[in-house]
Amino acid sequence: MDVMGVAKLATSIADTGTRQDVSIAVLKRAQDIQASAATQLLDAVQSAAPAPQLSQNLPAHLGKNVNTTA
């Protein structure tokens, strides 16, 4: 292997490392954005008004069985 081949190999390895570093940085940024969006979504769901209780006007026997043959 000549000197130029070694230099090309070293440059290629350095480029690969740089590409991986950039890819990891982009991935981490995307994860941060997704985490922020998920947090905002959870906050929005928690701050939403609770649904009215409909079960207060229903007979006690309703909602105890599930029809699994339908």
Sorted by where each begins, the domain ranges of the chain are: 1-35
pLDDT score at 54: 58
pLDDT at 56 over 70: no
Encoded tokens for 30: 């995307």
Query: Percent of the chain scored above 90 by pLDDT?
Result: 29
Q: Give the lowest-confidence range in 5-9, 31-35, 41-45.
A: 5-9
pLDDT score at 50: 66
pLDDT score at 1: 56
List the one residue out of 38, 54, 34, 55 whose CA is nearest residue 46: 38
This prediction has a pTM of: 0.52
pLDDT score at 53: 60
Q: In sequence order, what are the residues at sequence separation of 6 or more whose Cβ sits closer than 8 angstroms to the Cβ of residue 55?
A: 63
